[in-house]
Chains A and B, each alone.
Chain A
């Protein structure tokens, strides 16, 4: 290795005249085991520069970062959609419940025969208009009619 070249590079390094490539040569040079004694005092500086580049953030950070960035967006959309339609869902559920309960109640009332209970009294009697002339008419009212007729006949006479 030409140490003159390295010394020259070092001089230019202190004056900030070196290129990035030349600085890499310096780092590589000082990273090797046997550095000449007149230059060894600069070894720690260039070793330090190279070692500092191996400071890294772990994989955990990636997961945390992606979790922070991707989830809130998706979550926010999900929440707004849910929130937007929640009252509708509630209203639909209430209507469904009311309808179900109503239908069930109506059916159970029909089956109980609430109407039939009334209908039973006149069963077979109200289908025929002739019922009006039937002898089964309440006796009292017939008597009244007869009495009325007799009375009017007396008055006429």
Chain B
């Protein structure tokens, strides 16, 4: 394996780590803090970098564990969810105008209502485009469990979304 360099190999993971942390905590400041903590922890274990099969998977695992720890401390998840939704509608960038779309906001809220494991699996699969093996390694579960969680998550979003569409709930 080639020599791992912090600036070139670990720092560029910041966005993936941030998105996963944000998906779990639903709080952007908290998520940024988690990415920072993750990187400091990984930095302190720099002697072991060469031993990891995938430094990316390791970083994502650390970030997820930190995010779960912290999100347990956040008292009201619903308030955080609403905060996040209003943050999105604040943007004026034309590219992000799609996010003003009410339907997309509904998807966002439905997704964030899922249990943490399903949320993380969907995040890693549908947004980061990772295969089952990588996700299993990051979450420390079997590939079968990854698939089960992904299936349940996707089905729940589909079902709830169609309910809202059809009955205007």
Interface residues of A (CB under 8 A from B): 13-16, 20, 23-24, 41, 43-45, 47-49, 51-57, 61-62, 64-66, 68-69
Distance to closest chain B CB from A118 (angstroms): 75
**Does B64 belong to the interface (CB within 8 Å)?**
no
**Does B79 belong to the interface (CB within 8 Å)?**
no
List the A side residues contacting B103 at CB < 8 Å. Answer: 43-44
List the B side residues contacting A14 at CB < 8 Å. Answer: 154-155, 158
In the bound complex, what is the Cα–Cα distance between A129 and B157 (angstroms)?
125
Number of B residues near A (Cβ < 8 Å) is 43
In the bound complex, what is the Cα–Cα distance between A52 and B106 (angstroms)?
14
List the B side residues contacting A49 at CB < 8 Å. Answer: 126-127
B107 partner, pick from A24, A44, A61, A65, beta carbons under 8 A: A44
In the bound complex, what is the Cα–Cα distance between A47 and B98 (angstroms)?
8
Given contacts A41-B162, A69-B39, contact A57 B151 (CB under 8 A): no
**Does B36 belong to the interface (CB within 8 Å)?**
yes
Distance to closest chain A CB from B43 (angstroms): 5
The answer to whether A13 and B162 have CB atoms under 8 Å apart is no
Distance to closest chain A CB from B151 (angstroms): 5
Distance to closest chain B CB from A32 (angstroms): 13
Interface residues of B (CB under 8 A from A): 6-7, 11, 14-15, 18-19, 22, 32, 35-36, 39-40, 43, 95-96, 98-99, 101, 103-104, 106-108, 111, 123, 125-131, 147, 150-151, 154-155, 157-158, 161-162, 165
Q: In chain A, what residue has the closest Cβ to B44?
A: A69
Q: In chain A, what residue has the closest Cβ to B95?
A: A54
The answer to whether A61 and B157 have CB atoms under 8 Å apart is no
List the B side residues contacting A48 at CB < 8 Å. Answer: 104, 107-108, 111
In the bound complex, what is the Cα–Cα distance between A21 and B169 (angstroms)?
34
Given contacts A45-B161, A51-B99, A57-B15, contact A69 B35 (CB under 8 A): no
Distance to closest chain A CB from B5 (angstroms): 12
List the B side residues contacting A56 at CB < 8 Å. Answer: 15, 18
The list of the 5 closest CB pairs from A to B, nearest first, reads A44-B103, A48-B107, A44-B104, A49-B126, A16-B151
List the A side residues contacting B7 at CB < 8 Å. Answer: 66
